[in-house]
Structure 1
Amino acid sequence: MIKGSAKRKYDLPDFEALLKDAKNGSEPALLKFLQCFEGLAVKLSRQSVCTDKLGEDALQIANLGILKAVRDWQEGDDIYRVAAFVTNKIRTELHTAIRRQQSVEAMESGSSQDASVKLDAQSYRAFQLSQQNRLRLWLVRECLPLLSHQQTKVIKGLLEGKTVLLIGRELHLDTRTISLHRSRAIKKLRLLLGVTA
């Protein structure tokens, strides 16, 4: 669980105020909110399946997901989950657009209805996989307080995309020690989450 002090620690924008102003029609607030999640939109729209099927439209569709997140956000919702909420909206928009594109391609190629259904099923399986990965990531974060202090710092660093070398520099530890903390943490997380493979 993220404490209130985390907002100051990571110097996050005031998403609560931004969302409120954006929902009330403030264009500067909406623009600022879009800018906050610009990197996420670019990352998700550049995934191979999105660029293959949607091309240059992928980024615009991802931005549409951000706008829908602003529209659908309810006052009183956990503001520290706003990034996950926006991510889900972007993924949903991209997934829907891909399904539509696949249906159009199937119709244009004169394929049977069975082929179209098969494409939809394949796309949906890929979407379910991404949902499963997000669920696993959420579970890992929920289990972090059960790890040792150093193990928690190492896993948090890895989740942020940092390398073992960079984490070692930040914690003033050698890479061998960081790797040891990582392997012990992963072993404990596997036990906590019931992962056998």
Structure 2
Amino acid sequence: MKKEADSKELPNTAAFQDEFTRSLLDSPEEVEDGHYLFESETGGYSMLWPKNAVTDGPPFYQRTKDSFEKIKFYERSEKENYRYSFSTTYSTYGESVIDSTLGILSDSLGYNGEYEKIETDKTRIYFAKSEEPLKHSTAYFFFGYVASKESQRGLEYIYTSQCIDKSKTNCNIDVEKEEEKALHYMKTVKFNTDE
């Protein structure tokens, strides 16, 4: 945790029991049910962090001063047979190079469709989804680029949802609910404005 706390008082959640993940989070107080607030040390943005999601150090976490930050984090439960993966990349290009940004994102996921444009008060989200059959399950990808309307800041966001083993009876991925969840994560990204 950025602000030191007595480890005995830490919540019994994967995020706070993992030393590296804990170092990224400000507070063990949930800001929304099941979620902590991740406030980037770039000073550029904040986003929700699921309480049972963890990340490892480099290469899963990379930061270059205040202009770039990439985090891969995941939540997994063998018992409940699911794996959620998150990949976020913060940059200070905003919408200035949106076509190439979306092109690179599409290429990385083998996607060749259109993006839906979703407006919030302070952001513009370019959103798309796809699925990929895997050997033991199907991976559902919900991805996009969240651009600030007030600055040249943006966050590429990829959320993947899948069962670990689809042959098990408890493979309960509700694609519509997962899409809602992904959009909620993107809509709650907040960018700081330059002062």
- TM-score, length-scaled by structure 1: 0.25
Q: Which has the higher helix share?
A: 1
RCO greater where, 1 or 2, for CA within 8 Å and sep 6 or more? 2
- TM-score, length-scaled by structure 2: 0.26
